[in-house]
């Protein structure tokens, strides 16, 4: 019996040796690497800046910066060495550009976007937007009414807070309205610019930021929302909707968008603003919705607006909302835009034909003025 067990063990060992020897004779098969996806459904893209009809930079969450040179057919990821959210980017010429984001992040490139270096912003506040009318003059805006301005390309900054100064007798009552968040800036030249933000704030400057003026007063009587039982009528202009984005075509013509689907426009450089109406589709008559009054259905918030060309404009927002400016000055829902029920955070056109829309896990590109849009797969 003992001999049979020993024989069986010898046979098993022999088979194992033969099997190992046979395996050693086979060549190792290389497993191809998994394809690298630069665009994932979990990405949150916040801004896009086109530098030519086919070249653009896209920024997003967790320090993500993508570049494309072929209209979104392929993308290259640029390593910034940071893991912070990037909320805004702008290239001011072929070589120089800036980006901004979480925890006071400001970075600058001087080689066309190949490498980026941190700039000392002297703040840890979130910086949500920027506007550079040229390489040297720029403005960053963000949390707690922050405005940073530079006249030397980011070497030095002047720090301000754009907020109303209340008289002492109103100081305690004004605490909820102090330090509103500023979300977007638009400068058409080094002297003339506009900033919008929380609670309907609109500020403008005509001297490069040396002084600023509030401009939302003309909207107060148009906004028909009733004051709540705990709202003080002395702060009536603070019940206006928050504006997330502003865009100026020139010194006279500008538009902004924000909560409750609000779109406002000015034709006199911000001396007066007015709420504009929307239409269900191009060619349809404008609606008769009263701004601020209760309405069904509730309109989705709009996060970005872009005026481009001589007379065109587009705005995008939550749950895939996309509207185009019509010849009658109404904004109509765009039937040519794909149905994408996700948040769209930014729209920018390089010219009348080439434009981009980015959002939660999506990048779209058009080369025919928005008649068709292509999903970029990365």
Give residue-wise pLDDT tens across range 50-95.
999 999 999 999 999 999 999 999 999 999 999 999 999 999 999 9
User: Looking at the domain assignment, is residue 311 inside a domain?
Assistant: yes
User: Looking at the domain assignment, is residue 28 inside a domain?
Assistant: no
- Long-range CB pairs of 279-285 (<8 Å, 24+ gap) are 279/326, 279/330, 279/331, 279/332, 279/333, 280/332, 280/333, 281/332, 281/333, 281/335, 282/324, 282/326, 282/332, 282/334, 282/335, 283/326, 283/332, 284/332
Q: What pLDDT is stored for residue 31 in this prediction?
A: 63
Q: What pLDDT is stored for residue 35 in this prediction?
A: 62
DSSP state of 55: -
Whether 27 shows a pLDDT value over 90: the answer reads no
Whether 33 shows a pLDDT value over 80: the answer reads no
Report whether 241 contacts 232 (CB < 8 A): no
The CA-CA-CA angle for residues 40, 41, 44, to 5°, reads 85
Give the C-alpha separation, 94 to 140, whole Å.
21
User: Looking at the domain assignment, is residue 107 inside a domain?
Assistant: yes
**212: CATH:** 2.130.10.10
Percent of the chain, pLDDT > 70?
A: 90
User: Looking at the domain assignment, is residue 9 inside a domain?
Assistant: no
Across the range 151-163, mean pLDDT stands at 95
Across the range 325-354, mean pLDDT stands at 95
Domain total for the chain?
A: 1
Q: What pLDDT is stored for residue 297 in this prediction?
A: 75
User: Looking at the domain assignment, is residue 2 inside a domain?
Assistant: no
User: Looking at the domain assignment, is residue 12 inside a domain?
Assistant: no
User: Looking at the domain assignment, is residue 243 inside a domain?
Assistant: yes
Q: What pLDDT is stored for residue 28 in this prediction?
A: 63
What's the count of helices (H) and strands (E) in the chain, helices before strands? 2, 29
Give the C-alpha separation, 45 to 36, whole Å.
18
Domain holding 305, by residue range, is: 42-375
User: Looking at the domain assignment, is residue 15 inside a domain?
Assistant: no
Q: What pLDDT is stored for residue 296 in this prediction?
A: 72
Which of residues 294 and 76 earns the better pLDDT score? 76
Over residues 128-145, the pLDDT tens digits come to: 999 999 999 999 999 999
Over residues 173-219, the pLDDT tens digits come to: 999 999 999 999 999 999 999 999 999 999 999 999 999 999 999 99
């Amino acid at each position: 019996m003992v001999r049979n067990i020993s024989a069986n063990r010898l046979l098993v060992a022999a088979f194992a040796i033969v099997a190992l020897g046979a395996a050693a004779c086979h060549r190792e098969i290389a497993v191809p690497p998994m394809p690298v996806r630069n665009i994932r459904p979990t990405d949150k893209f916040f801004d896009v800046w086109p530098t030519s009809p086919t070249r653009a930079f896209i920024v997003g969450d967790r320090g993500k910066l993508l570049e494309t040179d072929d209209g979104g057919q392929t993308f290259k990821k640029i390593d910034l060495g940071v893991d912070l959210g990037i909320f805004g980017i702008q290239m001011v010429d072929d070589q120089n550009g800036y980006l901004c984001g979480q925890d006071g992040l400001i970075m600058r490139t001087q080689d066309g976007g190949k490498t980026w270096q941190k700039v000392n912003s002297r703040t840890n506040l979130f910086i949500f937007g920027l506007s550079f009318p040229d390489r040297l003059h720029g403005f960053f805006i963000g949390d707690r009414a922050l405005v940073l301005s530079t006249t030397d390309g980011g070497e030095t900054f002047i720090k301000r807070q754009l907020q109303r100064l209340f008289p002492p007798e109103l100081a305690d009552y004004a605490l909820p309205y102090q330090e509103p968040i500023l979300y977007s800036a638009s400068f058409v030249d080094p002297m003339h610019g506009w900033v919008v933000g929380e609670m309907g704030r609109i500020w403008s400057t005509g001297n490069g930021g040396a002084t600023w003026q509030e401009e939302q007063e003309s909207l107060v009587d148009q906004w028909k929302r009733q004051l709540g039982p705990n709202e003080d009528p002395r702060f009536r202009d603070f019940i206006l909707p928050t504006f997330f984005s502003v865009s100026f075509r020139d010194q006279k013509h500008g538009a902004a968008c924000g909560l409750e689907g609000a779109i406002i426009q000015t034709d006199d450089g911000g001396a007066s603003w007015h709420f504009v109406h929307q239409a269900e589709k191009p060619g349809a008559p404008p609606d008769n919705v009263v701004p601020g009054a209760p309405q069904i259905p509730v309109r989705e918030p709009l996060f970005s607006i872009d005026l481009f060309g001589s007379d065109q404009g587009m705005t995008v927002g939550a749950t895939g909302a996309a509207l185009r400016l019509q010849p009658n000055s109404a904004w109509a829902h765009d039937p040519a835009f794909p149905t994408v029920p996700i948040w769209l955070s930014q729209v920018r056109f390089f010219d009348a034909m080439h434009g981009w829309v980015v959002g939660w896990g999506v990048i779209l590109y058009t080369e025919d003025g928005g008649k068709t849009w292509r999903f970029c797969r990365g």
